[in-house]
Structure 1
Amino acid sequence: MRGAKSAKWVAMAAVVALGATACGGGGDSGSSGGAKGNGVLSVEIGEPQNALVPTNTYETEGGQVINALFTGLTKLDADNKVVNAMAESIETKDNKVWTIKLKSGYTFHNGEKVTAQSFIDAWNYGANQSNAQQTNPLFSHIQGFSDLNPGEGKKPSTDKMSGLKAVDDSTLQVTLTAPFAAFTSQLSFTAFVPLPKAFFKDPKGFGEAPIGNGPFEMKGKFKHNEEISTTKYDKYPDASKIAVKGVNFKIYSNLDTAYKDLVAGNLDTLLTIPTSGLATYKKDLPGRTVDQADSAVGYIGFPIKYNKAFQNADLRQAISMSIDRQTIADKIFLGARTPADDYISPTIDGYRKGACGDACTLNPAKAKELYKKSGGLPGNTLEIGYNSDGGHKDWVEAVANQIQQNLGVKVIAKPFEQFQTILNDLDAKKYQGAFRMAWSMDYPDMENYLRPIFSKDAISNGSNYSGYVNEDFEKLLAQGDKAPTHEDAIKTYQKADDILLKDMPYIPVYFYTMNFGFSDKIKSMNVAGHQILWDTVKLS
Structure 2
Amino acid sequence: MRRWATAVAAALALALLVAACGGGGGDEQSAQTVGIEWGEPENPLIPGNTTEQNGGDVIDALFAGLVKYDVDTGQPSNEVADAITTTDNRTFTIRIRPGWTFHDGTPVTSQSFVDSWNWTAAGPNAAGAQSFMEKIDGYDEVSPEVPTAPTMRGLRVVDPQTFTVTLEQPFTIFPLTLGYSAYYPMPQRFFTDRAGYEAAPVGNGEFRFESRTPNQNLVLVRNDQYAGSVKPQVQRLDFRVYSELQTSYDDVLSGNLDHVRQVPPAALTGDRWRTDLGAGAHQKEGLVTDSLGVPLYDPRFANPLVRQAISMSIDRQTITQQIFGGVYRPATGYATSAADGYVPNQCGELCTFDPQRARQLLAQAGGFAGPLTLTANSDGGHDPYMEAVATSIRQTLGIDARYAPVPSFSEQRRLANAQQFTGLFRNGWQGDYPSIETFLTQLYRTGASSNDYGYANPAVDAALSQADQAPTTQAANAGYAAAERTILADMPNIPLWSRPVIYGNSARVAEAEHNPLNRQDTTTYRLNPQG
Aligning the two structures, in what range does the TM-score lie when normalised by the shorter sequence? Answer: over 0.9
Shift of 1:205: 4.4
Match of 2:385 in 1: 395
Query: In structure 1, what is the equivalent of residue 12 of structure 2?
Result: none
Task: Deviation per CA, 1:307-362: give whole Å up to 9, x if none.
Answer: 11111100001100100010111111001200001011111122222211111111
- Map of 2:14 onto structure 1: none
In structure 1, distance between residues paired with 2:216 and 2:194: 22
Contact 2:447 2:454 survives alignment (8 Å): no
Cα deviation 1:349-392 (Å, max 9, x = unaligned): 2222221111111111111111122122222x100000112111
SS at match of 1:405: helix
C-alpha distance after superposition, 1:390-447 (max 9, x if no partner): 1110000000001000000111111111212101211011222210112100111111
Is residue 4–residue 54 contact of structure 2 (8 Å, CA) maintained in 1?
A: no
1:348 to 318, 339, 347: 339
Which residue type is aligned with residue 400 of structure 1?
A
- Corresponding residue of 1:262: 252
Write the letter of the residue equivalent to 2:289: V
Q: CA deviation at 1:518?
A: 0.2
Distance 1:159 1:448 in 2: 29
8 Å contact kept, 1:47–1:253: no
Q: Hey, what's the Cα distance between the residues in 1 that align with 2:101 and 2:204?
A: 6
- 2:266 aligned with 1:273, yes or no? no
Secondary structure in 1 aligned to 2:147? Answer: coil
Say whether the 8 Å CA contact 2:309–2:358 is kept in structure 1: yes
Aligned residue among 411, 414, 417 for 2:407: 417
* 1:489 equivalenced with 2:476 (yes/no): yes
CA contact under 8 A between 2:24 and 2:255: conserved in structure 1? no
- Say if 1:215 and 1:239, in contact at 8 Å, map to a contact too: no
Do structure 1's residue 308 and structure 2's residue 299 form an aligned pair? yes
> In structure 2, what is the equivalent of residue 85 of structure 1?
79
Unaligned residue ranges in structure 1 (runs of 5+): 6-15, 18-24
Corresponding residue to 1:506 among 466, 482, 493? 493
Per the alignment, do residues 367 and 205 of structure 1 end up closer, same or farther by CA in structure 2, a change over 3 Å counting?
Answer: farther
CA shift digits 1:473-502 (9 cap, x unpaired) = 000011011000011111111121111111
Partner of 1:298: 290
Write the distance in 1 (CA, Å) between the matches of 2:343 and 2:283: 23
Contact 2:206-2:231 at 8 Å conserved across structures: no
Superposed CA deviations along residues 202-227 of structure 1, whole A, max 9, x for unmatched, are: 3344233211111111112x422211
Q: How does 1:62-77 map to 2 (within 5 A)?
A: 62-77=55-70
Query: RCO greater where, 1 or 2, for CA within 8 Å and sep 6 or more?
Result: 1
1:538 aligned to 2:526?
A: yes
The residue that corresponds to 1:374 in the other structure is 365
Distance 1:444 1:227 in 2: 31
Which amino acid in 2 is paired with 1:207?
E
Map of 1:399-478 to 2, 5 A cutoff? Answer: 399-458=389-448, 462-478=449-465
Opposite residue 4 of structure 2, the aligned amino acid is A
How far apart are the structure 2 equivalents of 1:122 and 1:202?
14
The residue type paired with residue 525 of structure 2 is: V
- Three-state SS of the structure 1 residue aligned to 2:279 is coil
Amino acid at match of 2:86: T
Instruction: In structure 1, give the amino acid aligned to 2:98.
Output: S
Q: CA deviation at 1:470?
A: 0.2
Q: Rate the CA distance shift 1:96–1:256 in 2: closer, same or farther, 3 A.
A: same
CA gap 1:316/1:235 in 2 versus in 1, 3 angstroms: same
Cα gap change, 1:96 to 1:239, in 2 (>3 Å): closer
Match of 2:176 in 1: 185
Of the three residues 27, 31, 40, the one matched with 2:33 is: 40
Hey, what does 1:11 align to over in structure 2?
Answer: none
CA distance in 2 between counterparts of 1:445 and 1:469 reads: 22
Report what 2:148 is aligned to: 157
Aligned residue for 1:241, secondary structure, equals coil
| 1:89-110 deviation per Cα after TM superposition (whole angstroms, max 9, x unaligned) | 1111221111111112211111
- How far apart are the structure 2 equivalents of 1:341 and 1:251? 34
Q: CA deviation at 1:534?
A: 2.0
- The residue number in structure 2 matching 1:2 is 2
Residue matched to 1:138: 132
CA distance in 1 between counterparts of 2:230 and 2:166 reads 35
Q: Against the structure 1 CA distance between its residues 239 and 266, is the aligned structure 2 distance closer, same or farther, given a 3 Å change threshold?
A: farther
CA distance in 2, matches of 1:373, 1:237: 62
Q: For the residues of structure 1 that align with 2:150 and 2:256, how far apart are their CA atoms?
A: 47
Q: Structure 1's 383 and 355: CA in aligned 2 closer, same or farther, altered over 3 A?
A: same
Compared CA separation, residues 37 and 230, structure 1 to 2 (3 A): closer
Mean CA deviation greater in 330-339 or 36-45: 36-45
Partners of 1:248 and 1:525 lie apart in 2 by: 14
Q: Is the 8 A contact 1:144 1:163 kept in 2?
A: yes
Which of 273, 281, 290 is equivalent to 1:289?
Answer: 281
Shift of 1:240: 7.2
Segments of structure 2 that go 5 or more residues without pairing to the other structure are 8-20
In structure 1, what is the equivalent of residue 188 of structure 2? 197
Q: Which stretch of structure 1 is more off in the superposition, 385-394 or 37-46?
A: 37-46
Distance 2:268 2:95 in 1: 46
Contact 1:26 1:269 in 2 (8 A): no
Alignment correspondent of 1:21: none
CA distance in 2 between counterparts of 1:63 and 1:36 reads 25
**CA displacement 1:263-296 (0-9 Å, x = unmatched):** 1111111121101222422222121111111211
